[in-house]
Amino acid sequence: MAEAEVGDDGFGEDPTVRALEERYAELVGKQAALFVPSGVMANQIALRIHTKPGNVVIAAKRAHVVLYEMGAAAKNAGVQFATLDDPDGFITSQQVAGVIEGVAHHLPQVNLLCLENTSMAGGGVVWSTQRFGAVVAAAQGLPVHLDGARLFNAHIASGTSLADLARPASTVMSCLSKGLGAPVGSLLAGTKEDIGLAADERKRFGGTMRQAGIIAAGGLYALKHHLQRLHDDHDRAKRLAEALFDAWPQADVDVSRTETNIVLANVENDAEVLAFLAKAGVLATTIAPRVIRFVTHLDVSDDDIDQAIAAIRTAPVAS
């Protein structure tokens, strides 16, 4: 990063940013890509380029773009969501077809389908290309935005190429700063035309950076050196899930659904348990009342998992 060649990315003149954008576009099989400061900004830009205020966006009830972006979709894009139940992290083609059918019955025009792979609130489960393709087909040609914040995890867990995972989507975004371990940044990819519009929207959000090659270099490094090691995160999450299943039988931990780097546990006394774990040096968080989320990543080693398991075994979980 210190040695990165830089330029003014506001003018598209930063060679390191350009290299990163080209690399991501190539990996996900799209014409062009745009480097942005965060995953939320990438999602918000996608909403702005695919919709107009008043439009309806189909998404899973617990999608990040619905629940975890501070109502930004309403504020930034003026859209409303048609949310669909996603008990296991997935929505179905029947659910999507049901929303589209409503248009013929005085229900609002639908303009975008948003999907999330892996599904964060689903515990990091991976959308297969078959499942993804079927839901996209039910959307009957609507634009599709793929929130692939953790698409790299989906790719490593499934062995399916990033391009195949992203193929049915009009735009796809991924975060470099999650499991991949880069300090800053996300990427949004799509057609040249969409990415041109996205660059204008990035400017409107104040997200156009100047000598951003310094941080883009971290992203390039992460793509080169940290992709394959996501297997380790997935193995560690599995170990954690097995230990949680044994130690907290009442917490509904599903070891077989721990496919990537997220483990969810349902705990009545979440605050007490999180405080206990934090004292033992194990940081986790809640993503909903009584739902604790553990995430493995670049900075979590096998020894750290041992430490977490020891703390989990003695945590005061209410029965």
Ligand X SMILES: Cc1ncc(COP(=O)(O)O)c(C=O)c1O
CB nearer ligand X, residue 183 or residue 249: 183
3 state DSSP class of 232:
helix
Nearest distance, CB of residue 81 and ligand X, angstroms: 15
CB nearer ligand X, residue 116 or residue 243: 116
**Pairwise CA distance, residues 6 & 212, whole Å:** 7
Nearest distance, CB of residue 34 and ligand X, angstroms: 14
Nearest distance, CB of residue 63 and ligand X, angstroms: 7
Helix (H) or strand (E) holding 291: strand 291-295
Residue number of the CB atom closest to ligand X: 39
**Pairwise CA distance, residues 40 & 68, whole Å:** 9
The residues binding ligand X (CB under 6 A) are 38-40, 43, 64, 116, 120, 147, 149, 175, 177, 186
10 Å Cβ neighbour count for 8? 15
Helix 129-138 and helix 93-102, axial crossing angle in degrees, nearest 10: 10
**Pairwise CA distance, residues 39 & 36, whole Å:** 8
CB nearer ligand X, residue 18 or residue 293: 293
Nearest distance, CB of residue 247 and ligand X, angstroms: 26
CB nearer ligand X, residue 110 or residue 120: 120
Nearest distance, CB of residue 147 and ligand X, angstroms: 5
Nearest to 118 by CA among 58, 165, 170: 165
List the structure tokens of 71: 């109502």
Nearest distance, CB of residue 112 and ligand X, angstroms: 16
CB nearer ligand X, residue 51 or residue 186: 186
Q: How far is CA 244 from CA 100, 201, 253, 292, in A?
A: 41, 43, 7, 11
CB nearer ligand X, residue 144 or residue 315: 144
Four-residue CA torsion sign, 124, 55, 130, 88: positive
**Pairwise CA distance, residues 212 & 185, whole Å:** 10
CB nearer ligand X, residue 187 or residue 274: 187
3 state DSSP class of 273:
helix
Contact assessment for residue 73 and residue 81, using Cβ atoms and an 8 Å cutoff: yes
Helix (H) or strand (E) holding 195: helix 192-204
Q: Could you give the strand order of the β-sheet that contains 262-266, starting from the edge strand earlier in sequence?
A: 262-266, 291-295, 285-288
CB nearer ligand X, residue 136 or residue 175: 175
Nearest distance, CB of residue 177 and ligand X, angstroms: 6
Nearest distance, CB of residue 170 and ligand X, angstroms: 17
